[in-house]
């Protein structure tokens, strides 16, 4: 019997060898089968379902039934935040709510990240809510407060007064590979603790969606795990049950899952959550350069032969990290701290791991020669100051000095121009990008320092109503006056 078994194995080897010999050299046929990878999802599911919660938002104001950041009928990218039960609400006769009691306006998910009640979710889940209720997997519930939000990354940190919770374990989103199995855990259509499976379809994906004209930090993990309204803020985990992303958006023209979903990687989540807890706001570093992705056409035009991918420098800002690095137009960035960056989303993901004041090493090519330099990261104002909630930077823009030519053309002797406008008091007042402020509270301004000094003086007063009155003109010559409320709601 043993001899027969040996003979059969030998015959199989001869047949395999002769089969390979008859094929052309460039065709290689495997003789042995590829081992199957483990696809048991039970361990990951058991580790994560108790770390994912349901978040119900309530408001006394009339809301979009899909939430403040919900379904966009003019685009295909959907923040999957839905009303209770995920069903389209029928239009009902409006009734007067005498007590102005909050009514449920939306439903999403969140991930427990500490034993003492800190939970990460999406900004669009909590945006506009007057009350938040968190429902745990054991059916216990708590009211939650918002610790801080970051509109640019669509992340928020909330807190419940509870102890001994089961936090999720953070994984490394950078080590995730395309084709790797992942699980999505959340509350689609109000069905608590729902687990779906899929694979990583792509990494560092940008949706190109600058919602509401706001700054958008995008470097998504794309998966084909089924996600639907109510999954916003839920967990994307690997087969070890480690968090690799926070689910945020789907690609759909119907509002329901259509094959593609997107999660914010933990490289960004960890940094944003740490900043909000420590400073109350995100410390965001910028490179200070305008870039575009290198392709074969551009490479041929610029005679770039040393690299096939990277980020081509279009221009460099003064007082920036890029300037300190010595970057020039037509240089090609290929790596940050040894991590390859081939597109803008990958660069964004790397920069968002750091704060102003941190040092980074950038690899780039000039005239097809490799250069590697280290520099200190700065914020959008060109310095390394740490900002805190309520600081001058919370106005939500930068103030740039005017050129003599601009002053002469508009017939003004002084002023600063609003640049890099994002969420904050300035934009809330109705100010648009490019507005030139000539005076604040009847005092002429000619630099960012002038505006900051007036701001600080106002914030030091004991008045309940704090405001900046901005006088100025747009580049078109149209004059405007804006009142900026500094007292909050």
- Supply the residues annotated as catalytic: 124, 154, 232
CA dihedral for 331, 152, 203, 120, sign (positive or negative): positive
Quote the CA–CA distance of 344 and 333 in Å, as a whole number.
11
Helix (H, G, I), strand (E, B) or coil at 138: coil
Strand 103-112 relative to strand 77-78: parallel, antiparallel, unpaired?
Answer: unpaired
Compute the radius of gyration of the chain from its Cα atoms. 27
C-alpha distances in Å from residue 60, one per residue of 100, 129, 154, 394, 475: 6, 8, 23, 27, 40
Find out whether 291 and 332 touch, Cβ atoms under 8 Å: no
Quote the CA–CA distance of 357 and 396 in Å, as a whole number.
20
Maximum CA pair distance of the chain? 104
| Residue 224: CB atoms within 10 Å | 17
Find out whether 484 and 395 touch, Cβ atoms under 8 Å: yes
Taking Cα atoms as reference points, which of 152, 465, 133 lies closest to residue 281?
152
Quote the CA–CA distance of 354 and 341 in Å, as a whole number.
16
Find out whether 440 and 481 touch, Cβ atoms under 8 Å: no
| Residue 321: CB atoms within 10 Å | 27
């Amino acid at each position: 019997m043993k001899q027969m078994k040996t003979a059969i194995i030998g015959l199989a080897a001869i047949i395999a060898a002769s089969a390979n010999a008859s094929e052309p050299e460039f065709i290689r046929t495997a003789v042995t089968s590829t081992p199957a990878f483990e696809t048991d999802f039970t361990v990951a599911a058991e580790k994560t379902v108790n770390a994912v919660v349901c978040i119900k938002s309530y408001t006394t104001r009339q809301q979009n039934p899909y939430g403040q950041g919900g379904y966009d009928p003019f685009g295909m990218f959907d923040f999957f935040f839905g009303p209770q039960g995920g069903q389209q609400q029928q239009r009902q006769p409006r009734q007067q709510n005498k007590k102005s009691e909050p009514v449920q306006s939306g439903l999403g998910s969140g991930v427990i990240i500490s034993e003492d009640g800190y939970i990460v979710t999406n900004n669009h889940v909590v945006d506009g809510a007057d009350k938040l209720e968190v429902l745990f997997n054991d059916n216990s519930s708590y009211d939650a407060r918002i610790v801080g939000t970051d509109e640019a990354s669509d992340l928020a940190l909330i807190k419940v007064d509870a102890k001994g919770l089961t936090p999720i374990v953070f994984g490394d989103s950078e080590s995730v590979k395309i084709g790797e199995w992942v699980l999505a855990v959340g509350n689609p259509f109000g069905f608590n603790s729902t687990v779906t499976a899929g694979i990583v379809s792509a990494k560092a994906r940008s949706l190109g969606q600058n919602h509401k004209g706001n700054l958008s930090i995008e470097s998504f993990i794309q998966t084909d795990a089924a996600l639907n309204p109510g999954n916003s803020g839920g967990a994307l985990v690997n087969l070890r049950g480690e968090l690799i992303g926070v689910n945020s958006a789907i690609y759909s023209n119907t509002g329901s899952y259509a094959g593609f979903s997107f999660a914010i990687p933990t490289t960004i989540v960890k940094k944003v959550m740490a900043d909000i807890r420590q400073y109350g706001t995100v410390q965001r570093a910028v490179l200070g350069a305008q870039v575009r992705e290198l392709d074969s056409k551009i490479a041929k035009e610029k005679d770039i032969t040393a690299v096939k991918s990277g980020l081509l420098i279009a221009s460099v800002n003064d007082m920036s990290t890029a300037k300190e690095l010595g970057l020039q137009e037509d240089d090609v960035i290929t790596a940050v701290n040894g991590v390859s960056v081939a597109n803008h989303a990958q660069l964004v993901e790397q920069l968002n791991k750091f704060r102003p004041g941190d040092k980074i090493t950038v690899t780039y090519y000039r005239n097809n020669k490799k250069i590697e330099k280290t520099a200190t990261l700065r914020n959008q104002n060109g310095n390394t100051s740490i900002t805190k909630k309520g600081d001058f930077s919370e106005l939500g823009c930068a103030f740039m000095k005017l050129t003599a030519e601009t002053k002469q053309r508009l017939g003004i002797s002084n002023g600063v121009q609003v640049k890099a406008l994002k969420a904050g008091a300035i934009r809330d007042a109705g100010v648009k990008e490019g507005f030139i402020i000539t005076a604040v509270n009847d005092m002429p301004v000619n630099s960012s320092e002038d505006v900051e000094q007036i701001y600080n003086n106002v914030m030091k007063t004991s008045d309940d109503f704090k405001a900046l009155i901005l006088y100025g003109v747009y580049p078109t010559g149209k004059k405007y006056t804006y009142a900026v409320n500094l007292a909050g709601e």
